[in-house]
Structure 1
Amino acid sequence: MAKGFDTEPLPESDRAPACLHPRETYDLLGHSEAERRFIQAQQSGRLHHAWLLTGPPGIGKATLAYRMSRALLGGQSLMPESLNIPKSDPISQRIESRGHGNLFVVNRPWDSKTKKFKQDIPVDLIRSVGEFLQGTAAEDKESRVVIIDSADDLNRNAENALLKMLEEPPSKTVMILLSSSPGRLLPTIRSRCMAVPLKAVPKADIVDWLSRQGQGSKDMVEACANLSRGGPGKAMALAQNASEVLMPLKRFMESLDTGRVSIDIGIAKSLATQNAAVARALFWDVLEDSIQACAVYSQTDLWEGAFAPPNNKRNPEKWLKAWSLIREQKAIEAAINTDKTATLLNTLSAVRAA
């Protein structure tokens, strides 16, 4: 029997956990002002050649980038003054199937040997963008669109190569850069882009959106919204990983005034497996935000965390010390290879003892 081909699609670094890819997402929650700015620029005939969409992860940068791309490549909106181009549009179908010849997407590549994503976007990928821009348009429309998700992942050589393209942009080309930490980009790159900062989506809008999609109980939806940092994508990821992230967080927060180390051990072990990488990253975030909420609550009596506030407020300085420890341990784990069970267990124990 002939050996079959592996048809399993490669992982994509720009796909949020348990969510549709942004090219498959047609609704955008919030950011109407950002869309209005782009539409006005496009209609004026003076469209800037580079756009820098900024905001925290999960806020909708990539979804907006694909909505812009559909419009640039000739998609037809259902409504005037809108980027609501439907899934049924031929342009949408080409983009969703990754078959549109005038769209080039750059993100961290998958290493098939290590079974991990590369740590950065190498300069070779940016050089491929240059080749794409110099080639003949593959579709009837002459416009070309490049999405870089995320520009934060560019290594320094790649940044310098991109800068040259931004300094001498080809005609009828639009580059859309996404960044969660624009301050880390070269100032010369930022200065050559039209900056579009995306604001946090109101909590009430996220709650309503999750509820309409049937993403859990009222309490769980509220928790997802509280811990989303104003990002619908982050809220959806939390909802999809509630049993691995939010329920353990709830058990931990409710037991803070006890010595139930068994809870800490269970959480640390469950999030140390290779398959739990996404849930672990989310847990670090929500733990950090929850302890920060405790610090604010102990000082102001204002509770903005998930679930119920702790019975024992503790001294604000102790909460801040615990919060700093969480951030420190999260950064260390991201930088070097550590014992994941021990790192998280020691952190949870230290927070409990604070």
Structure 2
Amino acid sequence: MSTDPDIGSDVQPGCLPPRERYDVFGHDAAEQAFADAWQSGRLHHAWMITGPRGVGKATLAWRAARRVLGARAMPEAGPLGASAQDPVCKLIESQATPDLLLLRRPWDEKRKRWRGEITVEEARRAPHFFEMSSGGGGWRVCIVDSADDMNNNAANALLKTLEEPPHRGVLFLVTHTPGRLPATIRSRCRRLALRAPSVEATAGWLEETGAADNAGSALAASKLAGGAPGRALTLIAGGGVELAAEVNLLVDRGAAASDADIRKIADRLSLKGQEEMRDLFYEVLANAIRVQARDRAEAGRDATDWLDSWRNLNTLVRDANALYLDPKQTILSALGQVRNVARKEKARA
């Protein structure tokens, strides 16, 4: 997520802000479901857009919002397509329309960073927003990005709006983990479930749009992202493909991994703005450890130490997130632990 107060906490590194993104990849069915509901004249008041990170949930929410707020249809751009030159779209993109409310994690001016959650003060803006009439007598739209960031009090405050459907009002709740939202919220929303396109399809899209330099990097980014287009863009922009190769090489070196190589990764990933890459690092490292354990098990060798290392890594990452442990020391501990397992194994050989 962005750490720039002028950009927004809802913006992924390497990606345009969702309000500025006019294309979406791989979700025509979900868009058509919303378009059909809109055209029927019986639009449900709350929509929960679910799916993995970077799959295009927020992009779809903003595309739907443009149409609800009056942007002219552009069929060649998909069921919810609209032109960036449309006057309504220009107002939305410049955040100049009073008929759209975005709820996201607020900026902490004292600490100069985004708050870790959507606060109750933010959520209480929704009922006040819907109490007001639309400037042109039309619709009002509220986007929550992401609903996963709401604390309990914020969720309860938003629930009041969901319990009393606003007149000519619609809410879009973007969520990566819908199961963690209160059942009282889930039950009041119609769900649009987005799934990542195939790895091959997303790789082709990355090539076609020029986001990747070549077919190899496009395929590597798509594999790491599980086919999620937005996450693939973030990985390309942040050097995620190169990082994954670096981590896998380090684990393959095992006991021969040097202190300099370990410190190099820790120094880079502990810098400000590297949160997304740190998440990728732990994901790649955990997978590399699993591969080491699997290879030994398949060869009839003892894989206990590698399995323990995998469990210890998961515990370390969970504690680091919960206790706000120093990122650099956490990364050093994680890589040092892997090297120790390899050295122990080598000593027994």
Per the normalisation by structure 1, the TM-score is 0.87
Q: Does structure 2 retain, via aligned residues, the 8 Å contact 1:147–1:177?
A: yes
**1:172-223 deviation digits (Å, cap 9, x = unpaired):** 1100001111111110100000011111221111101111214233332222
- Residue 89 of structure 1 and its aligned partner are, at CA, apart by 1.1
Aligned to 2:222: 225
**What SS does the aligned partner of 1:52 have?**
strand
Deviates more, 1:263-272 or 1:47-56: 263-272
1:22 is displaced (CA, Å) by 0.6
Distance 1:296 1:162, change over 3 A: farther
- 1:112 aligned residue: 109
Instruction: Give 1:95 deviation, angstroms.
Output: 0.9
**Cα distance in 1 between the residues matched to 2:296 and 2:214:** 28
Q: What per-residue deviation string (whole Å, max 9, x for no partner) do you get for residues 292-335 of structure 1?
A: 566667778xxxxxxxxxxx997665554443333322222211
What residue is the counterpart of 1:286 in the other structure? Answer: 284
AA matched with 1:57: R
Q: Does 1:324 align with 2:322?
A: no
Q: Could you tell me which of 9, 12, 16 is aligned with 1:13?
A: 9
Segments of structure 2 that go 5 or more residues without pairing to the other structure are: 343-349
- Which among 91, 98, 103 is matched to residue 101 of structure 1? 98
Between the aligned partners of 2:22 and 2:291, the Cα distance in structure 1 is: 33
The separation in 2 between residues aligned to 1:313 and 1:326, in whole angstroms, is 24
User: How far apart are residue 45 of structure 1 and its match?
Assistant: 1.3
Over the aligned positions, Cα root-mean-square deviation in angstroms equals: 2.4
The CA deviation at 1:102 is 0.7
Gaps of 5+ in 1: 1-7, 301-311
- Alpha-carbon distance in structure 1 between the residues aligned to 2:278 and 2:188: 37
Equivalent residues in 2 for 1:1-354 (5 A)? 10-79=6-75, 82-138=79-135, 140-212=136-208, 213-242=210-239, 245-258=240-253, 259-261=256-258, 262-292=260-290, 319-352=306-339, 353=341
Separation in 1 of the partners of 2:22 and 2:294? 37
Question: What is the rounded CA distance, in whole Å, between the counterparts of 2:301 and 2:83 in structure 1?
Answer: 52
Instruction: In structure 2, give the amino acid aligned to 1:335.
Output: A
Aligned length: 333
Query: Is the alpha carbon distance of 1:275 and 1:72 closer, same or farther for their aligned partners in structure 2, counting shifts above 3 Å?
Result: closer
Amino acid at match of 2:139: S
Q: Could you tell me which amino acid in structure 1 is paired with residue 233 of structure 2?
A: M
* SS of structure 2 residue aligned to 1:133: helix
> Measured at CA, do residues 169 and 265 of structure 1 come closer, stay the same or move farther in structure 2, by a change above 3 Å?
same
How far apart in 2 are the matches of 1:120 and 1:222?
A: 34
Contact 1:56 1:180 in 2 (8 A): yes
Deviations 1:213-258 (A, max 9, x none): 142333322221111023111100000011xx33233123124343
**Counterpart residue identity of residue 160, structure 2:** K
Instruction: Kindly provide the amino acid, as one letter, of the partner of residue 324 in structure 2.
Output: N
CA distance in 2, matches of 1:114, 1:314: 50
Greater per-residue helix proportion: 2
Amino acid at match of 2:327: K
Q: d(CA) in 2 for partners of 1:202 and 1:298?
A: 30
For the residue of structure 1 that corresponds to 2:143, the secondary structure is strand
Residue identity (%):
37
Counterparts in 2 of 1:237 and 1:167: CA distance versus 1, 3 Å: same
Q: What SS does the aligned partner of 2:279 have?
A: helix
Deviation at 1:34, TM superposition (A): 0.7
- How far did 1:106 drift? 0.3
